[in-house]
Amino acid sequence: MHGIGSRVRLAARVPLRRTALFTALGLFAALDAAASHHSHTVARADAKSVPASYPPAADVVSPNLLRQPGGVSVSEGYGSALAADPQVPRRFFLLCDRGPNVDTPQENHIAFLIPTFTPRIGCFQLDGKVLRQIGVIELEDEEGQPLSGLPPSPADGGTGEVPEDVAGHVLDHDSRGIDPEGLAALKDGTFWISEEYRPSLLHVDANGRTLERIDPYGAPGHSLPQVLRRRWPNRGMEGVTVTPDGTTLAAVMESPLLNPTKDAGKKSRVVRLLLLDVATGKTRQFIDLLDEPGIGNSDITALSATHFLVIERDKKRPGDDKEPSRVKRLYRIDITDASDVSDPDDGAGGLLVNGKTLEELGEAELQAAGIRPVTKSLVLDLLQLRGGYPHDKPEGVTVIGDRMVAISNDNDFGIDDDGHGNVVAKKLPAADGAIDRSRIYFIPLQQSVLP
């Protein structure tokens, strides 16, 4: 379809304008669920109730083959984020992250199979039960130069990740490098992207060229809160969405910040939700309490100015013999009565309570301090889907029509490491060992979750 470095554009790209992303939607009949601190409403997905125009799921057909090391196919891996094109029915944008990579035996050293890979947005048309790629938007900096997926150095806001090639040679850091994880499509045809490295928010035009980039290192009035510098490596700003009126961005961190220490972050359930006024740059912060330490959020989509859908998950694979996944959930969150926990002084550790960072506080301590997290209600447990859910990384969510959500998975380019830094195929235990593929699930709902 297209090779590395080529730029395939949509023939009708210019007139494809975005309108409001959200219409009425609903939930199916509630099933029983229990968790003492949440109001839970679980949706039961039923393939027979999927509207005729949407299949239960659709795979990306014939993804572009990038490399084949040792006979392992490395193909374009879309699904780190998902946005529906509201102007063209059955058309979707899927985000591709920093490029194919695997962990190495050396801590914080990452092997990049294609160091020159350019992160990109793919455009796909749903055709029956498959997703056909009809275009790609490669991401560029302000000067129109391709962006890479290599991490910046600590001096440029990086977290200490060291890039290597597959032969183990250390590569140069890239001060402009991005690891895109969140995607929002605007009415004017542009996109907002959240990325994990610095972390930062990028506003790009319809051709992928950066219009502006906002991070915690910017000038006052055009910067993210400094406390976000303490994000967990490879667990930064995981999702971004725009409110239906287009005035506000909402971005969610994947995991608790390492604030003030790594140990505090590992024990914490506090994840920060950031709201940014597009016109003024003013930000607000809210707390989303994870169900348990060690898990994280992987995408967000707006239902209104105060209500959002958020994916919460662990990093495990369903059906694994040793440690099967337990958490793959879609929540509706409401910030209406939640406390804004922004720090007026924009200090390195953010707002402090009795000398402690928010990440050090438990639920009782937050309550004693008068800090109210967002409220949560369970919309869908992916592990309870009829037919099962075999993926470890549900990372994209959007709303379709009045009775459906769509959820995409990040298949990691179809590869994994064997624990020794070697590339192997990424296989799914819950799918009889099939290799993971980029897929969108179309899940019908019945009771409205709109405010």
pLDDT single digits (tens) 403-426: 889 999 999 999 999 988 899 999
Q: Give 3-state DSSP helix, strand, coil % of the chain, rounded to 5.
A: 10, 40, 55
Judged against a pLDDT cut of 70, whether residue 431 lies above it is answered with: yes
Query: Distance between CA atoms of 363 and 344, rounded to whole angstroms?
Result: 23
* DSSP letter, residue 171: P
CB 110 within 8 A of CB 151: yes
Residue 221 has pLDDT above 50, yes or no: yes
Residue 16: φ, ψ to 5°:
-80, 95
Q: Is residue 23 part of a domain?
A: no
Question: Count of CB atoms within 10 A of residue 72's CB?
Answer: 17
Question: pLDDT tens across 121-138, in order?
Answer: 999 999 999 999 999 999
HSE, CB side, 13 Å, CA atoms: give it for residue 409.
27
Q: What domain count does the chain have?
A: 1
Residue 326 in contact with residue 301, Cβ under 8 Å?
A: no
Q: By the 8 A CB rule, do 225 and 276 touch?
A: no
pLDDT one-digit tens code per residue, 66-89: 999 989 999 999 999 999 997 888
**Quick one: average pLDDT of 348-369?**
98
Picking from 417, 225, 351, the residue whose alpha carbon sits closest to that of residue 426 is: 417
Give mean pLDDT, residues 293-300: 98
For residue 260, cis peptide bond before it (omega within 30 degrees of 0)? yes
Q: How far apart are CA 301 and CA 391, in angstroms?
A: 20
Residue 388: which region, alpha, beta or left (left: phi > 0; alpha: psi -120 to 50)? left
* Cβ-based neighbours of 257, under 8 Å, separated by 6 or more: 227, 228, 230, 231, 232, 265, 268, 272, 350, 357, 359
Q: How far apart are CA 409 and CA 244, in angstroms?
A: 24
- Looking at residue 38, which CATH number applies to its domain? 2.120.10
Query: How much is the pLDDT for 448?
Result: 77
The pLDDT-based confidence of 52 (bands split at 50, 70, 90) is: low
Instruction: Note the pTM of the prediction, 2 decimals.
Output: 0.89
pLDDT at position 218 is 84
DSSP states of 67-127:
E-GGG--EE--EEEEEEE-TTSTTEEEEEE-S-SEEE-SSTTEEEES-TT---EEEEEEEE
Q: What is the DSSP letter of 366?
A: H
Longest dimension (CA), the chain: 58
Whether residue 352 is predicted with pLDDT greater than 50 in this model: the reply is yes
Give the dihedral of Cα atoms 430, 431, 437, 441; nearest 10 deg.
-80
Taking the C-alpha atoms of residue 31 and residue 34, their distance in angstroms, rounded to an integer, is 10
Q: Taking the CA atoms of the chain, what radius of gyration do you get in angstroms? A: 20
Determine how many CB atoms are found less than 10 A away from the CB of residue 432. Answer: 9
Q: How confident is the model at residue 51 (pLDDT cuts 50, 70, 90)?
A: low
pLDDT bucket at 16, cuts 50 / 70 / 90: very low
pLDDT tens digit string along 223-252? 999 999 999 999 999 999 999 999 999 999
The model's confidence at residue 400, banded by pLDDT at 50, 70 and 90, is: confident
Please give the residue that has the higher pLDDT: either 132 or 24: 132
More confident residue, 316 or 2: 316
Query: Residue 116: which pLDDT band, with cuts at 50, 70 and 90?
Result: very high
24 is a domain residue? no
Is 413 within the bounds of a domain? yes
| pLDDT for the residue numbered 362 | 96
What's the Cα-to-Cα distance from 287 to each of 110, 333, 335, 356, 370, rounded to whole Å? 31, 11, 9, 15, 13
Which residue segment(s) compose the domain that 167 sits in? Answer: 30-444
| Structural domain contains residue 58 | yes
Residue 449 lies in a domain: no
